[in-house]
Structure 1
Amino acid sequence: MAPVQEMSDARQALRAAEEVGAPVRASETYGRSRSLLEQAESSLSAGEFQAARRQAREARALAIEARIRAAE
């Protein structure tokens, strides 16, 4: 089954990070998160659902970390 919820969660976490300035204030962590989400999207398109799920979860975790760092 496609990781629809995980992808949505990762996108929402990235948007929340962007809202507090993470692309500038936590650029490395934010960039890694964005890259992982892009990888997840590629995996999803290729039908590699397990990889997409894992990458989306990692992207979400990094986006949350970036949001926290940017808000400090």
Structure 2
Amino acid sequence: MSNARQAIKAARDASGPAAPASLIEAESLLNRAEDNLQKRAYKQARRDAIAARGKAAEALSSTRTVDDRNGAS
């Protein structure tokens, strides 16, 4: 879960105010993972956390692609 949180933070910091849909989805998945953890549904919590990390990585990648196209560094 910590990896997902860190990935979401990195994507959020890189995206600024205009968050890509994949970042919003990552945050939703992380919230669901945390809910599942509280319910002791560990397997589903792990799946959701891994999915959240993946979506956050996708959001970060898309943010960097847009920055590259716009000439930002």
Bin of the TM-score, shorter chain as denominator length:
0.7 to 0.9
The match for 1:59 among 52, 61, 67 is 52
Structure 2 unaligned blocks of 5 or more: 66-73
Q: Deviation of residue 20 (structure 1)?
A: 0.6
> 4+ residue stretches of structure 1 with deviation over 4 A?
none
Structure 1 unaligned blocks of 5 or more: 1-6
Aligned to 1:4: none
SS class of match (1:24)? coil
SS class of match (1:20)? helix
Task: Let me know the Cα RMSD of the aligned residues.
Answer: 1.3
Instruction: State, as a whole percentage, how many aligned pairs show the same letter.
Output: 37
Q: TM-score, normalised by structure 1?
A: 0.84
The match for 2:2 among 8, 19, 40 is 8
2:26 and 2:56 in contact (8 A); partners too:
yes
Q: How many residues align?
A: 65
Q: Deviation of residue 8 (structure 1)?
A: 0.3
**Residue-by-residue CA offset, 1:35-58 (whole Å, 9 max, x unaligned):** 000000000000000000000000
Q: TM-score, normalised by structure 2?
A: 0.83
Change beyond 3 A, Cα 1:49–1:22: farther
